[in-house]
Amino acid sequence: MDDGAQDLGPDLGLTNPRGAPLRRVPVRARSMSVTLAAWSLAVAADEGEGAIVLLELPDGSFFRGDGLCLGWPQERLAAAYAALAPRDEAAILDLPQLG
């Protein structure tokens, strides 16, 4: 974990927060007939583990928390995602080898 994420720990209400590399996940909303792709950030802290899923839509972004992050308001999810997501573009683009 980088020092920036450690410094933001008290603001997030977590002790020693850590974020894993982002991964692409399929998501589906009850009101939609299509499957969309979203980014999932696994989060770990001394308080437990969870995930923050970011769904980017034409009219804005939506966050969903699971596990440790379940029930957090959008503002807290957005702040935690921004603080804990990897900053290195190479870490984000972990594409599988096809063929």
Residue 94 in any domain: the answer is: no
Is the model's pLDDT at 93 over the cut of 70? no
Domain holding 21, by residue range, is 3-88
Residue 37 in any domain: the answer is: yes
Residues 65 and 74: their CA atoms lie apart, in Å, by 9
Q: Do 76 and 5 contact (CB within 8 A), yes or no?
A: no
Residue 98 in any domain: the answer is: no
Give the global pTM. Answer: 0.75
Residue 96 in any domain: the answer is: no
Residue 11 in any domain: the answer is: yes
12-58 tens-digit pLDDT: 888 999 999 999 999 887 887 888 899 999 999 999 999 999 999 88
Residue 18 in any domain: the answer is: yes
Domain count, the chain: 1
Residue 56 in any domain: the answer is: yes
Residue 9 in any domain: the answer is: yes
